[in-house]
């Protein structure tokens, strides 16, 4: 059986670990113990976990091993150790949203996504740090220490799925669940150098996940490789009658799609969106374009609506809906929020119904205009973020959306699937990354291109040192 070292085990991909377990060369128990040992050794440096469920994880791993020994394999996540952003409700396990407001909240039922992950044999190691209720900045007045970037702990990991990005990059779990309303999966995926997908709006259930903005919220995974995100989505995707936004989409084998050739795939490069990133980022994306062309894809510059249009449209919707979700608490217990979160949730009280409806109408226009600009192309490619993450000790501005347009917001506004792919490292040592977005419910093409790029480049071999 397993003679691999802890680091050998924790840096396996989900696909590799699954193959080894299927062949009887590694057990889920060995994997789980390796991750628990690494969390004990290094997580104090990055504070990615807020609640560890070691005993439950060990039991789940033993169950997975027993089933495997009887020839039962539930799917690609069977026996795979993962983490959950602490806005996913978990039966019998504290679910705080990284907020004093839910500091003692222990749900009685799992979120639908958690139910699917458990039914698929995944081993849940614990709950991960997040920006408060997936929106606020990380401020010192919150119940847990904020997560740090494993590439340099003096910097932010991005957010709001901050712990998810940090834990996956630091090899503290093989995959992690995040949520993305304006970029909260892709932002930490980019800054931490992992893969991460915001699925098409409606593909993955949000039932049992703390909401931020119903019209834009999506749930999805962060993993070390693109193929692993595809494998996690294989388990997560599917209609849920308890989520009003859930779609009845045909079942697709995303894991298989990650091995499709991309010859002839047509990619529209939205270069105008990211004019002015750091020279490293611009170079990284140009190089990624070259690699995708080498793989047979056709990449051409295409003009899309202005990035600021998507940015303000999404921001008005988020600000209004987040206020509606949290209104009672910002009136009755405002002191329980972090000081930044509170102000962000208060702001929506000043937006009129007319302004909100105007943003919803604008969303429809942007969706149609994006579709028209994308005609004849399978994917959109653009930068994932502007440059290095923020320094940890410098407090984020309260209204962070006023200075820079979000590069991730376009695909929340249009509802399209969007994947973050690491494309090298800057001279400052931080990861560079680009986004690939597909037509609605065409995650398969997104995974095919992202995985083809990864296989052709060496970036998955470099990990942060802690």
Q: Select the span of 30-38, 219-227, 306-314, 388-396 touching another protein (CB under 8 A).
A: 306-314
Question: Which of 295, 367 has the CB closer to another protein?
Answer: 367
Q: Which two tokens stand for residue 186?
A: 């892709």
In angstroms, the CA 74 to CA 21 distance is 12
x-or-dash pattern for another protein, window 344-363, by CB under 8 A? --xx-xxxx-xx-xxxxxxx
Question: Which of 352, 465 has the CB closer to another protein?
Answer: 352
Return the C-alpha torsion angle 85, 452, 410, 191, nearest 10. 50
Q: If binding means CB under 8 A, how many residues of this protein chain bind another protein?
A: 38
H-only helix segments in 333-352: 339-347
Please say whether the dihedral angle defined by the alpha carbons of residues 388, 389, 391 and 394, taken in this order, is positive or negative: positive
Q: Do 92 and 106 meet the contact criterion of CB atoms below 8 Å apart?
A: yes
Bridge partners (DSSP) listed for residue 45 = none
Residue 383 C-beta: closest distance to another protein, Å: 21
x-or-dash pattern for another protein, window 308-347, by CB under 8 A? xx-xxx-xx--x----------xx--x-------xx--xx
From residue 199, alpha-carbon distances to 38, 276, 349, 412 in Å are: 30, 28, 30, 10
User: Which of 465, 464, 460 has the alpha carbon at shortest distance from 16?
Assistant: 460
Dmax (CA) for the chain in angstroms is: 65
Length of the chain, please?
466
Q: Select the span of 58-66, 75-83, 294-302, 307-315 touching another protein (CB under 8 A).
A: 307-315
Annotated catalytic residue, options 48, 85, 118, 433: 85
Q: What are the DSSP calls for 109-168, one per residue? A: S--HHHHHHHHTT-EEEEEE--SGGGTS---TTSSSPPP--TT-TTB---SSSHHHHHHH
Residues in 413-442 at the binding interface with another protein, rule: CB under 8 A: none
Residue 331 C-beta: closest distance to another protein, Å: 6
6 sits in which H/E element? helix 6-10
Residue 362 C-beta: closest distance to another protein, Å: 5
> Would you call 161 a catalytic residue per the annotation?
no
Annotated catalytic residue, options 28, 162, 184, 215: 184
Q: Which two tokens stand for residue 117?
A: 């992950």
In angstroms, the CA 49 to CA 57 distance is 14
x-or-dash pattern for another protein, window 192-221, by CB under 8 A? ----------------------xx------
> Would you call 7 a catalytic residue per the annotation?
no
Residues in 36-65 at the binding interface with another protein, rule: CB under 8 A: none
Binding of another protein at residue 404 (CB under 8 A)? no
Residue 351 C-beta: closest distance to another protein, Å: 8
> Would you call 404 a catalytic residue per the annotation?
no
Q: Select the span of 52-60, 65-73, 304-312, 418-426 touching another protein (CB under 8 A).
A: 304-312
Q: Select the span of 231-239, 397-405, 419-427, 448-456 touching another protein (CB under 8 A).
A: 397-405
Q: Which residues in this chain contact another protein in the complex, by CB under 8 A?
A: 214-215, 244-245, 306, 308-309, 311-313, 315-316, 319, 330-331, 334, 342-343, 346-347, 349-352, 354-355, 357-365, 398-399, 402
Residues assigned a catalytic role: 85, 160, 184
């Amino acid at each position: 059986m397993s003679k691999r070292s802890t680091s050998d085990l924790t840096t396996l991909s989900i696909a590799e670990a699954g193959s080894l377990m299927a062949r009887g060369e590694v057990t889920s128990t060995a994997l789980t113990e390796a991750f628990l040992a690494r969390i004990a050794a290094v997580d104090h440096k990055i504070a990615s976990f807020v609640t560890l469920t070691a005993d439950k994880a060990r039991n789940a791993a033993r169950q997975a091993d027993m089933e495997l020994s009887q020839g039962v394999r539930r799917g690609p996540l069977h026996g795979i150790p993962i983490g959950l952003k602490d806005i996913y409700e978990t039966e019998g396990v504290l679910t705080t949203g990284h907020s004093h407001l839910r500091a003692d909240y222990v749900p009685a039922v799992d979120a639908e996504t958690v139910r699917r992950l458990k039914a698929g044999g995944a081993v849940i190691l614990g709950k991960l740090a997040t920006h408060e209720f997936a929106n606020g900045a990380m401020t010192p007045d919150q119940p847990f220490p904020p997560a740090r970037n494993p590439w340099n702990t003096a910097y932010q990991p991005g957010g709001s799925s901050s712990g998810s990005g940090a834990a996956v990059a630091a090899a503290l779990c093989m995959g992690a669940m995040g949520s993305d309303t304006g970029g909260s999966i892709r932002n930490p995926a980019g800054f931490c150098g992992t893969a991460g997908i915001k699925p098409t709006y409606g593909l993955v259930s949000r039932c049992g996940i703390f909401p931020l903005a119903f019209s834009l919220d999506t749930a999805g995974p962060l993993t070390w490789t693109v193929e692993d995100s595809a494998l996690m989505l294989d388990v997560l995707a599917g209609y849920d009658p308890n989520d009003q936004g859930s779609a009845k989409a045909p079942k697709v084998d995303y894991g298989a799609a990650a091995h499709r050739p991309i010859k002839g795939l047509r990619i529209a490069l939205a270069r105008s969106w990211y004019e002015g990133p750091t020279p490293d980022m611009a170079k990284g994306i140009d190089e990624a374009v070259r690699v995708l062309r080498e793989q047979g894809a056709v990449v051409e510059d295409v003009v899309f609506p202005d990035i600021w249009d998507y940015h303000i449209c999404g921001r008005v919707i988020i600000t209004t809906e987040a206020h509606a979700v949290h209104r009672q608490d910002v009136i009755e217990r405002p002191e329980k929020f972090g000081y930044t979160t509170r102000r962000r949730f208060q702001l929506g009280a000043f937006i009129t119904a007319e302004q909100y409806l105007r943003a919803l109408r604008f969303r429809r226009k942007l969706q149609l205009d994006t579709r028209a600009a994308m005609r004849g192309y399978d994917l959109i490619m653009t930068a994932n973020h502007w440059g290095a993450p923020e320094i940890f000790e410098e407090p984020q501005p309260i209204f962070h959306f006023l200075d820079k347009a979000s590069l991730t917001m376009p695909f929340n506004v249009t509802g399209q699937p969007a994947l973050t792919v690491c494309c090298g490292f800057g001279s400052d040592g931080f990861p560079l990354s680009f986004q690939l977005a597909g037509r609605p419910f065409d995650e398969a093409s997104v995974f095919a291109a992202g995985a083809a790029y990864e296989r052709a480049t060496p970036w998955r071999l470099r990990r942060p040192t802690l």
